[in-house]
Amino acid sequence: MRYLGSTRNIAGSCLALLGLVAHFLGVAGAYWPVVVIALYGAGALLAPPDRVRLTITHAEVETRALRADLDGLVRRVDHRFPEDVRAAVRALAEVIGGVLARAEQLTAAPDQLHVVAQTIRRYLPASLEAYANLPRRYALTRRAGRERSAHEELLAQLALLDAQLGKVAEAIHRGDEQALRDQGRFLRDRFGGSDLDLG
């Protein structure tokens, strides 16, 4: 699977496509399959190998540990919890996973990193643990004088965590969007009024 996205495969595939184009234009002749294979092989052999990166940054170390803790927590959310709770935990874990995938951006924002780490290691486990220690019937029953059951309370806490982590994710993705806008501004400044403008 790694080879499919490699520079060698991409270069070989591009040249192989040129061979197919040559066939459809009538240039490659009857030996077009050999031409396509030869072009793919040439591209794969001549392309520079993918860069090897063995160093692990502090950001990757920190987020890798958080990811392991999150995965372990999600695995422990089992049949003791109703399906809607499990679904909410999975959805929250997906949001957190997306944030953890942006290791450099996350560790560059200590406040956001703190929220993510505390959610994984403290807030979420505390809510789930308190609920899991209740008898199932008690958790699902609304008590007199209380506005919601323990089950409803847990769902509300999960929704609150999801909203907060959504803000963290939005802040991180907003940084990516800003980088894209900055790049667009640079390209417009660089090439916008040049002689290369065909428009």
Asked if 135 contacts 88 with a C-beta cutoff of 8 angstroms, the reply is no
Q: Among candidates 112, 87, 127, 129, which has minimal Cα distance to 164?
A: 112
Asked if 66 contacts 117 with a C-beta cutoff of 8 angstroms, the reply is yes
- Residue 196 is predicted with a pLDDT of 45
Contacts of 187 (CB under 8 A, 6+ apart): none
Q: Is the pLDDT of residue 199 over 70?
A: no
pLDDT tens digits for range 12-64: 898 889 888 888 888 877 888 888 899 899 888 888 877 665 555 566 778 88
pTM of the model: 0.60
Comparison of pLDDT for 82 and 54, the residue scoring more: 82
146 φ, ψ to 5°? -110, 140
pLDDT tens digits for range 139-159: 777 766 667 888 999 999 999
Contacts of 5 (CB under 8 A, 6+ apart): none
Identify the weakest region by mean pLDDT among 11-20, 98-107, 124-133.
Answer: 98-107
Identify the weakest region by mean pLDDT among 32-41, 89-98, 119-128.
Answer: 32-41
Residue ranges covered by each domain of the chain: 3-46, 58-189
